[in-house]
C-alpha cells in the first residue's frame, strides 16, 4: 500500500505520490526540512516540553527557537493565544507534536481548530510530528493537524514513521506528507546527494505496517501500555513530594519532582548513581523540575524502578 493510501484510510487526507518523501527516519526528514525552510534568524515556535532534537536542528540551520512554556497544570499543552502572542514577522514555522514526546499530551480537534484560526492569513508552516498517533488511550480520538481545515492542509507538513507504532526503532523509516510539491522536490534533491533511499530490508519490512497487517498487534501493544501506564501513574503519585498526570498518548510519564528537587540534572544523576535507575532530566526537554520515565518495558522492571525512586526520595528528601 503506498503511504498516500494509508493517509486516506486513516485520516481521509488526499496525497499523491509526489506529495510524499520516505527517508531514513523522521529525524532525517526534520533535518532536511529545517535546512531547506529556515533562513538565518527565522523564528521557529516550539511548545515546551519538547523533543530534544527540535531546537538543536533549528539552531543548526541558523534559525531561532522561540519556546512557549506549559506544565502539568495545563496537561502540557499550549493555547492558541500563547501561540498568537509570540508570532512575529520573522516567524517561519510552528512545530506541533501530538501525542507528545516527552509528556504524552494529545491535542483535541477543538484545540487544533483554535490554533488553525490563529494561523489564518499568515505564511507560517506547521510541522506536525505525529509519530505516536497509534498509541492513544482512554478512548481519546487522534486528530491529524492537516485534517482541521483546507488552510491547515495547505500549510502542514506531516511527519511520521514506524519506529513507535510498530516498534521498528532502528530500522529507520520516516516519511513526510505535504501538498507543497516544490518542497518535496527540494527534499528529494537534498536527500539524493547525502543518503539516497532507505535500505531494501526496511522497505520490505515496512509493508506489513503500511498494509494494515500489524493493526491488531498495535492494538494489543497499546492495551498493554495502558496497563503499565495506569500502574506507574498510581505508584508515582503515592510517593510524597512527587506527582504525575496521566498521559493520553505515547509511552512516557513526565514526572513532577519540583517539590523535592527542582534541579532535574542533580536528581537524575544521583538517582542513577544511588539506585541504578535511568530517567531523563526534564531540563533536556525545556522543562526544569521534571523527569521523563518510559513505560515501554516489562511491568516488573517498571515497578522495581519506581520502588527505587521511592527509596531514593525517602532517603534524601
Domain locations along the chain: 3-210, 215-316
Q: Which three cell numbers stand for residue 292?
A: 521523563
Distance separating alpha carbons of residues 177 and 13, to the nearest angstrom: 10
How big is the chain, counted in residues?
317
Distance separating alpha carbons of residues 60 and 97, to the nearest angstrom: 20
Strands (E), the chain: 20-23, 43-48, 64-69, 91-97, 125-129, 156-161, 174-177, 252-256, 280-281, 290-294
Q: To which residue does cell 489564518 refer?
A: 120
Q: Could you say which of 3.10.20.30, 3.90.1150.10, 3.40.50.10480, 3.40.640.10 is the CATH number of the domain covering 3-210?
A: 3.40.640.10
Positive or negative torsion for Cα 159, 162, 166, 169:
negative
Per-residue pLDDT of the chain (317 residues; tens, 9 = 90+): 445 567 777 788 889 989 999 999 899 999 999 999 999 999 999 999 999 999 999 999 999 999 999 999 999 999 999 999 999 999 999 999 999 999 999 999 999 999 999 999 999 999 999 999 999 999 999 999 999 999 999 999 999 998 888 888 888 899 999 999 999 999 999 998 988 888 999 988 888 888 878 888 889 999 999 999 999 999 999 999 999 999 999 999 999 999 999 999 999 999 999 999 999 999 999 999 999 999 999 999 999 999 999 999 999 99
Residue 300 neighbours by CB distance under 10 Å = 8
User: 298 CB contacts (<8 Å, ≥6 apart)?
Assistant: none
Q: In what order do the strands lie in the sheet with 252-256?
A: 252-256, 290-294, 280-281
Angle at CA 140, nearest 5°, toward 134 and 146? 65
Residue 138 has what pLDDT?
A: 96
Q: Which three cell numbers stand for residue 129?
A: 510530528
What fold, for 215-316?
A: 3.90.1150
Query: H or E element: which one contains 32?
Result: helix 26-37
Residue 1 has what pLDDT?
A: 45
Amino acid at each position: 500500500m503506498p503511504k498516500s493510501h494509508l493517509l486516506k484510510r486513516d485520516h481521509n487526507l488526499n496525497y499523491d505520490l509526489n506529495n510524499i518523501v520516505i527517508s531514513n527516519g523522521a529525524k532525517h526528514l526534520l533535518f532536511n526540512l529545517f535546512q531547506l525552510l529556515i533562513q538565518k534568524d527565522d523564528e521557529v515556535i516550539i511548545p515546551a516540553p519538547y523533543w530534544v532534537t527540535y531546537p538543536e536542528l533549528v539552531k543548526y540551520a541558523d534559525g531561532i527557537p522561540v519556546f512557549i512554556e506549559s506544565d502539568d497544570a495545563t496537561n502540557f499543552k499550549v493555547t492558541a493565544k500563547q501561540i498568537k502572542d509570540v508570532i512575529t514577522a520573522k516567524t517561519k514555522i510552528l512545530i506541533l507534536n501530538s501525542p507528545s514526546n516527552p509528556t504524552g499530551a494529545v491535542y483535541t480537534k477543538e484545540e487544533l481548530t483554535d490554533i488553525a484560526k490563529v494561523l489564518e492569513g499568515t505564511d507560517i508552516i506547521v510541522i506536525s510530528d505525529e509519530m505516536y498517533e497509534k498509541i492513544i488511550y482512554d478512548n481519546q480520538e487522534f486528530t491529524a493537524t492537516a485534517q482541521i481545515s483546507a488552510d491547515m492542509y495547505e500549510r502542514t507538513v506531516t511527519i511520521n514513521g514506524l519506529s513507535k507504532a510498530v516498534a521498528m526503532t532502528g530500522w529507520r523509516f520516516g516519511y513526510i506528507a505535504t501538498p507543497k510539491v516544490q518542497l518535496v522536490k527540494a527534499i528529494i534533491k537534498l536527500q539524493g546527494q547525502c543518503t539516497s533511499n532507505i535500505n531494501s530490508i526496511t522497505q520490505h519490512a515496512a509493508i506489513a505496517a503500511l498494509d494494515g497487517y500489524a493493526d491488531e498487534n498495535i492494538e494489543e501493544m497499546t492495551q498493554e501500555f495502558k496497563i503499565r501506564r495506569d500502574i506507574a501513574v498510581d505508584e508515582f503519585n503515592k510517593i510524597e513530594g512527587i506527582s504525575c498526570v496521566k498521559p493520553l498518548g505515547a509511552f512516557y510519564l513526565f514526572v513532577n519532582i519540583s517539590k523535592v528537587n527542582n534541579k532535574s540534572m542533580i536528581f537524575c544523576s544521583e538517582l542513577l548513581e544511588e539506585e541504578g535507575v535511568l530517567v531523563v532530566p526534564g531540563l533536556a526537554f525545556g522543562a526544569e523540575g521534571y523527569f521523563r520515565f518510559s513505560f515501554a518495558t516489562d511491568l516488573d522492571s517498571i515497578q522495581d524502578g519506581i520502588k527505587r525512586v521511592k527509596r531514593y526520595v525517602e532517603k534524601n528528601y
